[in-house]
A and B are shown apart, each in its own frame.
Chain A
Amino acid sequence: MAGPLLSIRDLKVEFATRNGPVTALDGISLDLMPGETLGVVGESGCGKSITALAAMGLIPDPPGRVAGGSILFDGEDITHADAARLRSLRGTEISMIFQEPMTSLNPVFTAGDQIAEAIMLHQKAGRAEAGRMAVELLRTVGIPEPERRARSYPHELSGGMRQRVMIAMAISCRPRVLIADEPTTALDVTVQAQIFDLMRDIQQEFGVAIMLISHDMGAIAEMADQVAVMYAGRVVETGSADAILDDPLHPYTRALIGCIPVLGKAAGLEGRMPPLAEIPGIVPPLHLLGRGCAFADRCPLAFDRCRAERPVLEGRPHRVACFAAEMEAA
């Protein structure tokens, strides 16, 4: 079996705030295998977007800072790579698509020009050739009339088309890793479904490995091979999508799945639906986390050890960081 393409090891990221340094990522480890999709799921503030930025070498410094651990791309440690190396990695080996396609595109250039620009930055191509390649890419991402759309400005495109343009830019240099940070959150469900289909097609065609950051378990179920569940800057559970969804071990994962009003379950039944499962309280502020498990205060299974000692990921291939789950398994 080939090794992981992108491997994050014990990564620790700190941010300087008025309340002193805050640990936004507290020793997280993730592996992205070639050609697979890794879903990173969690609520806002859990650190999933910072994980994506860290993998791209885009942590804003200051106030952010990689305080420990490493990021390996294809075996090369890029944690402290210089700016030139990171620039050449971004765009050629790793690219990223963002949540809001309107603000990620430059409003004063046409879609075609922006894709061509990205091509010329990393490949030996003249303007005319890059332009032709841009039109081809627009065709690849399923934009109708790509010749005409290449001359459109971002505001003339719908949200779904802008996200397709972003994907065209991201795959223009055939990257091996695509990091997608909530790529469909700003889109309507029917358009969201189209974008997911497109991402799957692209993965099959180009064999790109995708790291999909999402708060939406449904999206993760549909897209991911492997899943990592994050909570308060830590990975609490990781495993195959089926293992996480069908047999969640961490109480947080269980609660997160339980509180989603999913379609299908009893939708056709008469009468009222039963109440949703709730997780009491809110995610604790990162600077107030104690020594123990970050979820202990909200956890129905928490006992003394959970508050005193921090659980680490155990098990293989389905890994969980929870003392209660450990006891259950034993």
Chain B
Amino acid sequence: MSLVQPAAAPEAISPLREAWIVYRRNRPAMFGTLLLAVIVAFVLYGTFLYAGDPYEIVWAPQTPPGTEASVPLGTDYLGRDMLRGLLKGGGPTLSVGAAAAIITLLIGVSLGGIAGYFGGWLDDLLMRVTEFFQVLPALLFAMVVITLFSPSPITTAIAIGVVLWPQTARLTRAEFLKIRELEYVTAARSIGARNGRIMWRVILPNALPPLIVSATLTVGVAVLFQAGLSFLGLDDPNTMSWGLMIGTNRQYVLDAWWPVTLPGVAIFLTVFAVSLVGDGLNDAFNPKLRER
């Protein structure tokens, strides 16, 4: 017996809208959303306000931030403008992160969904494949993928996506296994829905909440992963990114802290904002927390 029956509201509140109402009240999540919006805005529009080639040597090497008006955030070991690098490098960093998360979602949801829905030998087979990918050392495997093809943001995104999908696949499978036993799935079959419709129109929308949360967190992981690859020099050196900035300046960190720290802070803030959003989504979609 439930303690208190909520009244049937007169207007139609969709579950998504209800989640948004809860999300809006969640202060950390709204802070994360705002922070992420600011970061994305800087990356998208910053280069218009502060244009310039990030590879161009503009001033004396290792000029500290705030000491020279023409390079407000200082310069790196070659004398390149840090602010130009941060603004220009944010685009590839964020888009590779987002693209990797989308690739992860595409592979993971289709394979996990098929495995969870059909079960049987297909499930066994797909899960063995998933486990195989999962036990491969992730970084090493990504390095192999990148070296096989030429380094470029697209290759990096694919490499990260190929490494990260098994988790999403397992999550999707677990959700599908759970939801396919519910009566509304049997009801869909009884009114003549075919497998495809049941999988993608009935089960998937109901499995979305944990998948959305996991996808947001994957964006954060992918950004970090990409930074790691750049740091190891495996990223395309002709595409500026935050990871690349850290990687190229790491030898001189004892002489100058800012060329490594500033992109590091940028990555930290991005991942922090994304995980606040992810946590907020998790709470918003979790019906147990909703009744507060």
Direct contact of A and B (CB under 8 A): yes
Which residues of A are at the interface with B, using a C-beta cutoff of 8 A? 15, 17-19, 22, 24, 44-45, 48-50, 64, 182, 283, 285-288
Q: How many A-B residue pairs have CB under 8 A?
A: 32
Question: Are B5 and A45 in contact, with the CB atoms below 8 A?
Answer: yes
Contact residues in A for B5 (Cβ distance below 8 Å)? 45, 283, 285-286
Contact of B69 with A by CB under 8 A = no
Q: Which of A17, A45, A285, A287 contacts B1 (CB 8 A)?
A: A45
Q: Which of A18, A44, A50, A287 contacts B291 (CB 8 A)?
A: A18
Beta-carbon contacts of B1-28 to A below 8 Å, as 1s and 0s?
1111111000000000000000000000
Looking across the interface, which residue of chain B has its beta carbon closest to that of A286?
B4
Which residues of B are at the interface with A, using a C-beta cutoff of 8 A? 1-7, 291-292
Looking across the interface, which residue of chain B has its beta carbon closest to that of A288?
B7
Question: Are B3 and A50 in contact, with the CB atoms below 8 A?
Answer: yes
Looking across the interface, which residue of chain B has its beta carbon closest to that of A13?
B3
Q: Supply 26 A–B pairs (Cβ within 8 Å), ascending by A.
A: A15-B4, A17-B4, A17-B6, A17-B291, A18-B291, A18-B292, A19-B6, A19-B7, A22-B4, A24-B3, A24-B4, A44-B1, A44-B2, A45-B2, A45-B4, A45-B5, A49-B1, A50-B3, A64-B3, A182-B1, A283-B5, A285-B5, A285-B7, A286-B4, A286-B5, A288-B7
* Complexed CA–CA distance, A45 and B2 (Å): 7
* Complexed CA–CA distance, A182 and B2 (Å): 14
Contact residues in A for B7 (Cβ distance below 8 Å)? 19, 285, 287-288
* Complexed CA–CA distance, A49 and B6 (Å): 17
Contact residues in A for B2 (Cβ distance below 8 Å)? 44-45
Interchain nearest-CB distance for B92 vs A (Å): 44
* Complexed CA–CA distance, A49 and B5 (Å): 14
Which of A45, A48, A182 has the most CB atoms of chain B within a 10 A radius of its CB?
A: A45
Closest 4 CB pairs of A and B: A285-B7, A44-B1, A49-B1, A45-B5
Contact residues in A for B4 (Cβ distance below 8 Å)? 15, 17, 22, 24, 45, 286
Contact residues in B for A19 (Cβ distance below 8 Å)? 6-7
Contact residues in B for A50 (Cβ distance below 8 Å)? 3
* Complexed CA–CA distance, A304 and B5 (Å): 27
Interchain nearest-CB distance for B170 vs A (Å): 25
Interchain nearest-CB distance for B277 vs A (Å): 23
Which of B2, B3, B7 has the most CB atoms of chain A within a 10 A radius of its CB?
A: B3
Contact residues in B for A48 (Cβ distance below 8 Å)? 1
Interchain nearest-CB distance for B283 vs A (Å): 15
Contact residues in B for A18 (Cβ distance below 8 Å)? 291-292
Contact residues in B for A49 (Cβ distance below 8 Å)? 1, 3
Contact residues in B for A286 (Cβ distance below 8 Å)? 4-5
Interchain nearest-CB distance for B121 vs A (Å): 29
Looking across the interface, which residue of chain A has its beta carbon closest to that of B21?
A18
* Complexed CA–CA distance, A18 and B7 (Å): 11
Contact residues in B for A45 (Cβ distance below 8 Å)? 1-2, 4-5
Which of B4, B5, B6, B292 has the most CB atoms of chain A within a 10 A radius of its CB?
A: B4
Contact residues in A for B1 (Cβ distance below 8 Å)? 44-45, 48-49, 182
Contact residues in A for B292 (Cβ distance below 8 Å)? 18
Contact residues in A for B6 (Cβ distance below 8 Å)? 17, 19, 285
Question: Assuming A24-B3, A44-B2, what are 4 further A-B pairs, CB within 8 angstroms?
Answer: A17-B6, A45-B2, A50-B3, A285-B6
* Complexed CA–CA distance, A283 and B292 (Å): 23
Looking across the interface, which residue of chain A has its beta carbon closest to that of B3?
A15
* Complexed CA–CA distance, A49 and B291 (Å): 19
Interchain nearest-CB distance for A313 vs B (Å): 24
Looking across the interface, which residue of chain B has its beta carbon closest to that of A15?
B4
* Complexed CA–CA distance, A182 and B1 (Å): 10
Looking across the interface, which residue of chain A has its beta carbon closest to that of B292?
A18
Contact residues in B for A17 (Cβ distance below 8 Å)? 4, 6, 291
* Complexed CA–CA distance, A70 and B4 (Å): 22
* Complexed CA–CA distance, A287 and B291 (Å): 15
Looking across the interface, which residue of chain A has its beta carbon closest to that of B5?
A45
Interchain nearest-CB distance for A285 vs B (Å): 4
Interchain nearest-CB distance for A109 vs B (Å): 26
* Complexed CA–CA distance, A283 and B2 (Å): 14
* Complexed CA–CA distance, A45 and B1 (Å): 7
* Complexed CA–CA distance, A49 and B1 (Å): 8
* Complexed CA–CA distance, A53 and B6 (Å): 20
Looking across the interface, which residue of chain B has its beta carbon closest to that of A213?
B1
Looking across the interface, which residue of chain B has its beta carbon closest to that of A64?
B3
Contact residues in A for B291 (Cβ distance below 8 Å)? 17-18
* Complexed CA–CA distance, A73 and B261 (Å): 67
